[in-house]
Amino acid sequence: IKETRPISSRAFKDESIRSLLTFLTNHGFPHNLNGRMLQSPTSKDFFRIFEFMYNLLDPSYKVNANGKVEEEIPRLVKELGYPLNITRSALLSVGSPHVWPSLLAMLAWLCNMIEVQETDVDDLLFPVASDAAFDSVNSENRVSSSRIMTDLKWQFAEKSYQQFMQGADSFEELEDEFTRQTAMFSGDDGDTNELKLKCEELQNALNILEDEPDELSTKRELLMTHNTDAAKLENFVTSLEQHLNKDDPTNLQIELQDLEAELSGLLTDNKKKEGILETQEFSQSDVDKIKTERQEIQRQAERAETEKHNIEELIWEHEMQIGKQNTQAMASFLNFS
């Protein structure tokens, strides 16, 4: 057979090199590889590439280590069905300008053959409809459904053709079976529309639920707020009790009564001494001493009166403060409740 491909053209060689590079990279070629190397490879590079590619078809294959690889490769390529001859002499000068284009074309053919071997036959016989692949979030399910529908059509065509070759003129049973099977996988338009509407309703309900605040989180935050308020109120009550105990009006009242008793005693003593002064005769020194004592008593009485007045004002201020604090405590308690 004569070579009909333009293997010597620059465009053909560049395209073959790109395809070969892509193939080897995608399949995990273990050695360094680049486009420049494939412009004129060494025999060692070529044998490595051929061995790697043939291993994809026959994992047990190894390049003949006895130096007869130039005879082995032409035989293997012919067994694979390559329509052109690969000579032994060509494999002795792999990278030469007049030999490499034909070997590159052979490798490109081998790439295509391996890719066909790796392709699922069903993908070729029952291709997926192009309009069903990527037009919805359920694309995977639609691709599977399209595959099944195509398969059913091929089965119907195959069975009807077999019956036709056997002399049958009508295929009612096959047609009924085909109609039943296609209806099973496709469903009528009414059912489909109903399912679509149901799906939209469920999606809308889900969106509403997702947009609503998390009730549990809200309750937890409210509980934390209440606990914080309770702690604050407890601290306030404790502080108020301490303050009330510190400034107990009862203690102030007792202190006031003591001062009043002391003042009364001083006044009584002063009157007694004034009486003695009036009824008795004293020397000038005694008179001066009594006057000094009376002045001192008077000063003490005035000081006691001043302290009494101050204590009364302090009692009044504390009573007002206590009343205000009680009002605030009750308001805080009512707000917390």
Contact 291/220 with Cβ under 8 angstroms? Answer: no
Does the residue 65 lie in any domain? yes
Q: Above pLDDT 90, what percent of the chain?
A: 22
9 vs 207 pLDDT, higher one: 9
Last residue of a domain, one of 93, 119, 145: 119
Q: How far apart are CA 139 and CA 131, in angstroms?
A: 10
Q: Residue 103's domain is classified under what CATH number? A: 1.10.418.30
Digit-coded pLDDT (tens) for 127-169: 554 444 434 444 455 555 666 777 788 888 888 888 888 888 8
Under the banding of pLDDT at 50, 70 and 90, the label for residue 277 is low
Instruction: Identify whether residues 102 and 143 lie together within a single domain.
Output: no
Does the residue 2 lie in any domain? no
Structure tokens at 243: 């303050």
Average pLDDT over residues 207-217: 72
Domain range enclosing 80: 10-119
Q: Residue 244's domain is classified under what CATH number? A: 1.20.120
Buried/exposed code over 157-180 (b: 16+ C-beta within 10 A; e: otherwise): eeebeeeeeeeeeebeebeeebee
**pLDDT at position 25:** 94
**pLDDT at position 136:** 46
Does the residue 204 lie in any domain? no
Tokens 């999606």 sit at which residue? 203
Instruction: Identify whether residues 277 and 322 lie together within a single domain.
Output: yes
Instruction: Identify whether residues 115 and 145 lie together within a single domain.
Output: no
The residues, ordered by sequence, that sit 6+ positions from 12 with a Cβ below 8 Å of its Cβ are 5, 6, 105
Q: What's the pTM? A: 0.41
Residue closest to 117 by CA, chosen among 76, 86, 80:
80
Q: Which amino acid is at 3?
A: E
Structure tokens at 88: 């032994």
Contact 16/105 with Cβ under 8 angstroms? Answer: yes
Q: How many domains does the chain have?
A: 3
Does the residue 134 lie in any domain? yes
The residues, ordered by sequence, that sit 6+ positions from 18 with a Cβ below 8 Å of its Cβ are 35
Digit-coded pLDDT (tens) for 11-50: 999 999 999 999 999 999 999 888 899 999 999 999 999 9
Average pLDDT over residues 98-125: 85
Mean pLDDT of the chain, nearest integer: 78
